Amino acid sequence: MISRRQCLAGLGAAILAPAIVARDSLPGYAQGLDLAALPGLRETAARKGILYGAAVRGDLLSRDPAYRAAVVKECGILVAENAMKFKPIRPTEKGWAFDEADATLAFAEANGMKVRGHTLIWHAALPDWAKATLASGGGAALLEQQIRTVMGRYRGRVLAWDVVNEILEPKDGLIDGLRKSDWYLALGPGYIDRAFRIARETDPGCQLVYNEWGHESYGTRPETILRYLEKLKKGGTPIDAVGMQSHLHTRWNVNARQLSWFCKSAVDLGLEILVTELDGDDSELPDDIQARDQGVHDRVRAFLEAVAAATVPRQVLTWGLSDRYSFMNAPGRREPGSRAKRPLPLDEAMRRKPAWLALHNFFTGL
Ligand code: 9MR
């Protein structure tokens, strides 16, 4: 738990002005702090050489002006939440659908933002026709075509690409803890190295990332990831960075010690550490909004501090910006009638909340 005094201390000189925000206009213990008067996270992060940003949806950027304004104010880097994935970008074999991805990139560039690409090779978001192609021997060509077409289209405009996503699943019982995905079944373990090599050829200036979840978890998952990274590096795979999704659960605390160990070890391997999908699932916390917001704040803070104990992440992205559009609140993602989750920096009304403050304090405190 952090006290209001600690909050104020964390805000430093920026909060010398008297609090002018009505008590009910901000949730939880941030009440009374004039969060709205502080600079956007993009600016605060940039002062420390960090890009802060969020996953965005193109349809919302064009139809919700409050969301669009908040994205412009807070974000120095964007990632398309879905638009660059296999199924949205190539729903049918002959039907490439680049519109939303193109528009997201154009929006970012028009607003002076960088872009991450997410994601080229993933077991999920695969259309049935692609699964059938993989199952019938067309995997090598499909992998190459996907990377060359999508990455090639945006060559020179994407700072970092998640070349592969969620490739490990130790429960599947395969060598190295690899996931028994359609890609694996079609091409064997070598598909990962192959993907990175094609990616490097396609856009040599782009940072190539292996994106995964669970680096902050207990148990053996972080070590499994690290061992696999070691193997890739030893084999000469052109990988530059590890993307840590960082979907934090309030059910358990961040395993700070192991997370710092992971980050330090990955840096020692010559890899950069990125925070790619940060948010906090508050479903295990009591109904009280203050307690939930504080719980998410505390996890976000603990997570970022554990990372920073090893290395300063140069890209920090949350998976969405406002609770209004978190994937966790999407239909089908939560029980009908259950309370809305509050995982992101801004609340449903686009107001800054404690998770925002955790990021602000982290960036200013570095
Ligand atoms: O937030 C995304 C949701 O809208 C999609 O339906 C889903 C499937 O494509 O993917 C979600 O994003 C995931 C991301 O691509 C990879 N890490 C986990 C994210 C949340 O599930």
Write out pLDDT tens, residues 140-177.
999 999 999 999 999 999 999 999 999 999 999 999 99
Residue 298 has pLDDT above 60, yes or no: yes
pLDDT of 20: 39
Higher pLDDT, 28 or 70: 70
Measured CA distances, 185 to 119, 131, 333 (Å): 19, 10, 28
Q: Which of 74, 81, 100, 166 is catalytic?
A: 166
pTM of the model: 0.92
For residue 29, name the pLDDT band (cuts at 50, 70, 90): low
Task: Provide the residue type at 164 as one letter.
Answer: V
For residue 32, name the pLDDT band (cuts at 50, 70, 90): low
Strand partners, 275: 244, 316
Angle, CA 247 vertex, CA 24 and CA 319 arms, to 5°: 65
Q: What are the residues whose beta carbons fall under 8 Å from the beta carbon of 224, sequence distance 6 or more?
A: 168, 170, 176, 177
Pairing relationship of beta strands 114-122 and 77-80 according to DSSP bridges: parallel
Return phi, psi of residue 21, to 5°.
Answer: -95, 135
pLDDT of 79: 99
pLDDT of 270: 98
Q: 124 CB less than 6 Å from ligand 1?
A: yes
- How far is ligand 1, taken at its centre, from the CA of residue 4, in Å? 35
Residue 215 has pLDDT above 90, yes or no: yes
CA nearest ligand 1 atom 12, residue: 81
Q: Which of 56, 79, 81 to mutate to test the pocket of ligand 1 (most atoms within 8 A of CB)?
A: 81
pLDDT of 28: 44
Measured CA distances, 110 to 68, 72, 76, 203, 311 (Å): 13, 10, 12, 22, 31
* 216 flagged as catalytic: no
Least confident window among 24-28, 105-109, 299-303, 304-308: 24-28
Across the chain, mean pLDDT equals 92
* 166 flagged as catalytic: yes
Q: Dump pLDDT digits (tens) for 110-131.
A: 999 999 999 999 999 999 999 9
Report which secondary-structure segment, H or E, holds 162.
strand 160-165
pLDDT of 12: 35
pLDDT of 4: 39
Q: 81 CB less than 6 Å from ligand 1?
A: yes
Q: 59 CB less than 6 Å from ligand 1?
A: no
pLDDT of 24: 43
Q: 82 CB less than 6 Å from ligand 1?
A: yes
CA nearest ligand 1 atom 1, residue: 327
